[in-house]
Structure formats: C-alpha cells, structure tokens
Structure 1
Amino acid sequence: MTGFPGFLATELMKRIVLQKPEARFLCLIQPKFQLLAEEQKARFPAGKVQFVLGDIVEEDLGIKTGVLDQPIDEIFHFAAVYDLNVAEAQAFKINVTGTENMIAFANKQSELKRFHYVSTCYVSGRHAGIFRETDLELGQSFNNFYESTKFEAEKRVRQAMVKGLKTTIYRPAVVVGNSQTGETQKFDGPYFIMQWLLRQPGLAILPRLCHPERYTLNIVPSDFVLDAMAYLSQSERSLGKTYHLADSQPLTIEKLISTLGKACERNVLSIPLPKALAKFAVGSIPGLERWLGIPRSSLDYFAHATNYSTDATQGDLAGSGIECPKFSTYAGVLVQFMKTHPELRSRALI
C-alpha cells in the first residue's frame, strides 16, 4: 500500500479489514511520515499493519535489500502529488516516475494477483464532451501539470496491462469529505467556495464564470469512493477495467453555488465575469488570490466542458447498495465539519 498514512489509503485499509479479516498490510512509508504512520497504525488490530521505509521516486522504491521477505498478492498505489499548482518537475517525478517504479516493483512479485492504480477523472484534461472509462488518449490538452502527469502515469499503467500486469484503474472525480461525518484531511476544491461564502456576512458576492448553467463540477464524497474501491477491488469482474468514481448526475455550477449558499446560510449574489478576466485579475493583482482564498488554478474547473460516463462503475456496483449520494444531501455536513476544524489546511501529504 502506498499513500499511507494519507486519508484515503488509511480509510480503504479499514474497509478491506472488514471484508477480509485475514488481510495484512505492508505500507511503504517515507521516513518523514513515520511518526504519523505509527499513530494511524495504532488504530488497527495488532499485527495487521507493517511498514517498510522507502520512497516511490527511488529505484526499487528505496527499499533496502533483504527487507522484504514475504509474498505480496495485491498492490494499491495511492501515492501521488495532488496539487493543481505543482511544478512540472515535481509532478513528473512523483506521479510518473513514481508510478513507473511501482510498476517495476509489481512485475517482480511472483504471487501478485492485482495492481490497483488510483488515477483521476481529470486525465481527460480539457476534452469537451463525454469522456468514457475506456478513453484516455483523445488529443486533449491540460489545465495544469497535475492533470498532464496523471495522464502520463495512466498511460504507463495501461502499457503494463497490455504486457500482462493484472490491473484495475480507479478514476475519482473531485473528492470531498465523508457524506455522513464530513471528515477529510484537507480543504480544497469546493471548500474554497465555502470558505469565501462564510467570510461574508449575510449577502455573499461570488463571481459567475462563463455560463454556470452549462458546466458541471463532478463532486463525490470520500465514503462513496472508498466503498466502491473496496467492493470493486475484491471482484473478479473488475480485472482489466477502468472505473470513473464520479457522480452520474453532477450539479451544474449554478445549482452547486445555490446549494453551497444554502449550506453556508448565505444569500449569494452572482456577478458575471469572464473566466479569462477572472484568472488575469487573480494572477496579477497583488494579494487578491490570498484575500479571496480561491486559487487561480481552481477557476478552470468552474468552466469544465467534460462529462464523465460511469457505465462500468454503475454496472459493476449494481446490487451492492453503493451509490453516489446527491451533493445536496451532504453539503451541510461538509460545511459543519469545516467550521469545526479550522486547523486543517488545503494541501495533502507529499
């Protein structure tokens, strides 16, 4: 398991333990996260979680010779840099080189049954129209180096699949907190809007980019993503497939803002503003980006022309009881958690 002690990797492990009580986990840990990893390990039954120190960006994962003395039958590769502002070199090193190293490691495991790779819906880049779970290379351009390097990484995974690596690929949309508790490890994406609305008493002013009634923002709660991954990862039907862990009926930007306004108990006044002008203003006026609390890089996703097909996901989850809840049913839960956890930041573990 990579990505531990991050939120998603940790929570998936909890679900797998419930499904497979005999499961044991070997987690690749960067030395700088060892203390935090020990804290998370204590939440599991004794003997369930073991660590090996290393780093996905290093050859052979930086694991010392002779340290691994046990067979590995499944690999979950979560570790990546999730940052829309990340520099190209860092993004490539972690997302692409790191994935190449994980593939090389996986190919050396004689008893490996499955390589589970966590990609993102946003390998679609700026593709306009429907993006299917079987799609990848459609000549799309990208908004940032996060998207482009996750695209390159998934290309490597698919090439390895063709060569025989038994793989399942998961593409989450914009992941927010747990729909029941609001719990999350970081505040980004839609949370930037919540924070901006809450900073304004009563009537809140929010720029309206392009045509908010045309575009959607595909948001999914972490419990849906994790429940789906836990279920699909243990299904033989999922071998060789790619899944969009996305909302099949995402809200338009217009309805999203209305929903967030209600959740934050604010009346929202939307002021039309072209996206290009908004990005220019946020990027060029000193202090504006910090004052707004809305990163310039996030504005692209409020005029995102891609719609994600979820045919494979819905088909293979049929009968499991696992469905993506409507955003309106849990938006208030997210806001409440954010209000009571001001100590959380907008960046995940790197």
Structure 2
Amino acid sequence: MTGFPGFLGSALLPRILQRTGGEAVCLVQRRFLAAANRRLAELDSDDPSLRQRIRIIEGDITQPGLGIDRDVLAEVTEAWHLAAVYDLTIDRETALRVNVTGTTNMLNALERCTSLSRLHYFSTCYVSGRYAGPFSEEELEVGAPFNNFYEETKHLAEAEVRQRMSAGMPATIYRPSIVVGDSRTGETQKFDGPYFVMQWLLRQPRKAVLPVVGDPAMARVNLVPRDFVVDAVAYLSGQSSSAGRTYHVADPHPLTVAELISVLAEATGRDVVSIPLPRRLAKASIRHVPGIYRLLRMPAEAVDYFAHPTYYLTEHIREDLAGSGIEAPPFPSYVDRLVAFMRAHPDLGSAAMY
C-alpha cells in the first residue's frame, strides 16, 4: 500500500487485512516514517494483532523501482495505490512527478509481481475536468479543460492505469468525490473544501455574508464522508465482479450550492446573505486584492468547486453495492458532527501530505 498514513489509507488498511487474513507492506517516504509509526501504534491499540501483520518500509514512488529492493514485491497479491498530491494549488512539475511518474513507477514495479491478483487504484471524480453535464464511470477522455494541475495529472495517471488494464493488468479504479470527515464522529485530517465555508461563517456574527459564484440553483457540490468511502471500497475490493470496473465513490443525490448554503447556515447558526460574484472575479480577488485571502482563508482554486458543471453518475457503484447496506448518507444527516469536530479542533490545518 502507498498512501499510508493518509486519511483514507489509515482507515482502509485494517479492513483490507480483516478481509484477506494476510500481511501488509506499507511504502512510506522517509519524512512520513514517524507519522506512519505513530499511526501504526494507534491501530495497534485498537487491535494488537495488527502490529505483527503490518510492515512499514522506506521508499519513494517518484523513484524508479519505488526505491525498494525487488524482493519486497515478490509475494504481493494485492496492491493499493493511494499516494498522490491532493492539493489544488500544487505546481505542475510537482504534480506530474508525484501523480503521473509515481503512478507509472508503481505500475512498472507491479509488472514484476507474478502473483498479483488486483491493483486497487485511487483516482478522483475530477478527472472529468470542467465537463458540462453527466459524466459516467466509463468515461475519461471528454476533452474538458481542467481546474488545476491536480485534476490534470490525476487524469493522466488514470489514463496510464487504464492502458495497463487494457494490456491485461487486473485492476479496479475508485474515484471519490470531495471527501469530508467521518459521518459518525466528524473526524478529519484536514480542513478544506466545504470546511472553508464553514470556517468563514463561524468567524462572522449571526448575520453572515457569503460570496456566491455561478448559479447556486444549478451547480452541485458532491460530498461523501470518509466512512462511506472506506466501507464501499472495502466491500467492493473483495468482490470478483469489481475487477476491471471504475467506480464513482460519490453521492448519487448531491446538494445544489443553494441547498448546501442553507444546510451550512443552519449547522453554524448563521443567517446567510448571499452576494453574487462572477467566478473569475472571485478568484482574481483572492489572488490579487490585498487582504482578501487573509480574510477568506480559502485558496482561489477552491472557488471552482462551488460552480462545478459536472454531474457524476453512479450506476456501477450503486449496482455493485446493492444488498450490502452501504450507501452514501445525505450530507444534512451528519453535517452537525463535522461542525462540532471543527469547533473542537481549531488548530487543524488544510495542508496536504506529499
């Protein structure tokens, strides 16, 4: 597994081991080794048997051969590739190196795994770019412009995975939408996406002002809690029918921006006055008008997701989860727990791991 001790990888790993009954090797960059060992100690406190089944080794997906001995991969039967730059503001060179070259290096290394039964690859719904309309789980090349280098390079990386799949590599692709905290506890690893709006509202008095871009009655924001992503992927990964499939791990009924604002207003106890603003002007103001970024504390790149024109279809995942009892909970059913966790952890940042 790559991407441990990240937000999703940390929660997925015990579930994978529970299903397989095997052992895991986690490939971790040197600078994250201490964090990985701390996370392993936390997992061990929940289930002492895990420490004997998880091995952390130093490596680097940006290096040919992943920077590890070839012998490490000799007995690998399942591979999980979650490591990526999850940062909307990242520069293109870094995004290419981690997301594209890193994925290619991983795929090349897996070609040597003679016992490989499946690669589980984490992509993102936003490989669609700014495609206007419904985007299916089969689609990838739709010719739409990208919001940022994160989207572009995740698109390129998924294209590489699909090329290897067409050449015979067994794989499943998971495309989460915007992942927020746990729907039961509110726990999250960083505050970004809708949290920027929640924080902005909480910094204001009861009568709060909120700039709104695009058409809030039409644009939708697709949010899913971490526990749904983990539950869905843990289940699907154990099904033989999921081989060769791509899944939008997304809410089939996402809220419009207008509905989201109403829900966030109630959850934060604010009366919100929406101020319409052109998307380009809003982004330019954050980038160039002195004091605006310090006031909003939201990167300009996040604005695009509140005027996003794509609607993500979820036929594959709904079909293959049918009968499992696993489904995306409605955002209003757990938003209070997200707000409570955010209030209780004011020092948690928005920085990504890479």
TM-score (norm 2): 0.96
User: Which amino acid in 2 is paired with 1:186?
Assistant: K
Q: What letter is aligned with 2:182?
A: N
1:27 alignment partner, SS class: strand
Instruction: Give the counterpart letter for 2:62 in structure 1.
Output: V
Secondary structure in structure 1 of the residue aligned to 2:255: coil
Where do 5+ consecutive residues of structure 2 fail to align?
A: none
1:185 and 1:348 in contact (8 A); partners too: no
Give the equivalent residue in structure 2 for 1:19: 19
CA distance in 1 between partners of 2:113 and 2:76 (Å): 6
Picking from 298, 305, 308, the partner of 1:294 is: 298
Unaligned runs of 5+ in 1: none
RMSD over aligned Cα atoms: 1.1
Match of 2:200 in 1: 196
TM-superposed CA distance for 1:290, in Å, is 2.1
2:108 to 84, 104, 107: 104
The aligned counterpart of 1:39 is 38
Q: CA deviation at 1:65?
A: 5.3
C-alpha deviation, 1:272, in angstroms: 1.4
The sequence identity of aligned pairs, in percent, is 51
Match runs of 1:305-316 below 5 Å: 305-316=309-320
Rounded to whole Å, the distance in 1 between the matches of 2:286 and 2:130 is 21
Distance 2:27 2:293 in 1: 36
| Structure 2 residue corresponding to 1:348, chosen from 329, 348, 352 | 352
Write the distance in 1 (CA, Å) between the matches of 2:70 and 2:163.
Answer: 28
Q: Deviations over 1:107-146 (max 9, x none)?
A: 1100000000000000000110000000000111101000
1:52-93 Cα offsets, whole Å, 9 max, x none, are 211000010011455x27500000000000000000000000
Counterpart contact for 1:76–1:115, Cα < 8 Å: yes
Name the SS for the 2:25 alignment partner.
strand
Q: Structure 1's 69 and 156: CA in aligned 2 closer, same or farther, altered over 3 A?
A: closer
Q: Higher helix fraction: Structure 1 or Structure 2? A: 2
* AA in 1 matched with 2:210: L
What residue in structure 2 maps to residue 158 of structure 1?
Answer: 162
Aligned to 1:57: 62
CA contact (8 A) 2:73 2:113 kept: no
Q: How many correspondences in the alignment?
A: 348
1:211-265 Cα shifts (integer Å, max 9, x gaps): 1001100000010011010000110010000000000000000000110111111
Partner of 1:2: 2
Q: Could you tell me the TM-score, scaled by structure 1's length?
A: 0.97
Q: Distance in 1 between matches of 2:328 and 2:215?
A: 26
| 1:296-319, Cα deviation, whole Å (9 max, x unpaired) | 111111111100000000000000
